[in-house]
């Protein structure tokens, strides 16, 4: 196990966490989270974190490690994830890197050398003010002109990522994408991709959101507000928390908030496929409607026996 890693990628609600749990149990493995929102504490229901019972079945790393008001960079994630993977391998266990955050996944799997450009709070406040006044689209257009390669990999609605890319461009005078060299890990990697027909993915998303509401997502957001957390924080600006926040402020009815959550998550799935392309021959794709967990496990066995 010391020179192996299995990554499980794909769109939201496709079943990555469930598969990872089963495979980790079978292959004596441990899970390393690669979801950019599950790193935050107290944001559990809306991020679809594994339940306490699931977390107790196999060790999980990088889940609930920082508070919602604490900053957390891609470089920090990469460093912690690589350390966790190394630790798991040294203990003769099999690490499973699992999540749908493309930046997190590829930063680890491709060994990105992330630009060492420290945050500029004043510049960030200025850019945030511009986004609030003119919309993030204006900033995104600036990024498209300055660094189209980076812009194509960033969700135009992700204000934080757009601002970070612009920050690097303005501080260095060089494109963010050009500063990212790569040094891939030396160990063998198997990338399992889960996919499905779009209608099936949307059905799963809608069911998951309905379940989030039943489990108490509104109460979870109310508790976060009572704890003093602001909706502008990255941890609370994502799908689900944003819409419930709008409902609590009287800007949306609850039904409208739920419908918007479903619509935005459908859009997010389309964005995820720009990170995990079906044509990417590094990824071994499995259609969840056509394959069993046992068949996927066989591919892991073959990988480990190479």
Query: Which has the closest alpha carbon to 80: 95, 100, 58?
Result: 95
Give, in words, the CATH class of 121-179. mainly alpha
The sign one gets for the Cα dihedral 166, 232, 11, 263 is negative
What's the pTM? 0.86
Alpha helices in the chain (DSSP H): 16-26, 52-57, 74-90, 102-109, 121-134, 136-146, 148-152, 159-172, 198-215, 217-226, 241-248, 254-275, 293-304
pLDDT 10s per residue in the chain (306 long)?
A: 569 999 999 999 999 999 999 999 999 999 999 999 999 999 999 999 999 999 999 999 999 999 999 988 888 999 999 999 999 999 999 999 999 999 899 999 999 888 777 778 899 889 989 988 998 899 999 999 988 888 887 888 788 889 988 998 888 887 777 666 788 899 999 999 999 999 999 999 999 999 999 999 999 999 999 999 998 888 898 899 999 999 999 999 999 999 999 999 999 999 899 899 999 999 999 999 999 999 999 999 999 998
Torsion, CA 277, CA 279, CA 283, CA 285, rounded to 10 = 90
Query: Which has the closest alpha carbon to 31: 22, 43, 40, 21?
Result: 21
Domain limits, the chain: 4-112+185-304, 121-179
CATH number of the structural domain 4-112+185-304: 3.40.50.300
């Amino acid at each position: 196990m010391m020179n192996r890693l299995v990554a499980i990628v794909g769109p939201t609600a496709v079943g990555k966490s469930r598969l990872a749990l089963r495979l980790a149990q079978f292959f004596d493995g441990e899970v390393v989270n690669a979801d950019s929102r599950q790193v935050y504490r107290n944001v559990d229901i809306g991020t679809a974190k594994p339940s306490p019972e699931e977390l107790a079945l196999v060790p999980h790393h990088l889940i609930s490690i920082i508070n919602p008001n604490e900053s957390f960079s891609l470089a920090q994630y990469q460093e912690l994830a690589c350390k966790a993977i190394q630790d798991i391998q040294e203990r003769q266990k099999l690490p499973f890197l699992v999540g749908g955050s493309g930046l997190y996944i590829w930063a680890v799997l491709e060994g990105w050398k992330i630009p060492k450009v420290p945050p500029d709070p004043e510049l960030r406040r200025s850019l945030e003010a511009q986004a609030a006044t003119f919309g993030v689209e204006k900033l995104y257009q600036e990024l498209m002109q300055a660094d189209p390669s980076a812009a194509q990999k960033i969700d135009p609605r992700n204000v934080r990522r757009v601002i970070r890319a612009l920050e690097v461009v303005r501080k260095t005078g060089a494109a963010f994408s050009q500063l990212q060299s790569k040094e891939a890990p030396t160990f063998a990697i198997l990338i399992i991709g889960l996919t499905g027909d779009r209608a099936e993915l949307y059905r799963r998303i809608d069911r998951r959101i309905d379940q989030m509401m039943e489990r108490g997502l509104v109460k979870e957001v109310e508790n976060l507000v009572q704890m003093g957390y602001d909706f502008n924080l990255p941890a609370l600006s994502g799908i689900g928390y944003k819409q419930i926040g709008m409902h609590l402020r009287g800007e949306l009815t609850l039904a409208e908030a739920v419908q918007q959550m479903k619509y935005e998550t459908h859009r997010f799935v389309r964005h995820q496929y720009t990170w995990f392309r079906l044509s990417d021959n590094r990824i071994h794709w499995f259609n969840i409607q056509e394959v069993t967990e046992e068949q996927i496990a066989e591919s892991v066995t073959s990988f480990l026996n190479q």
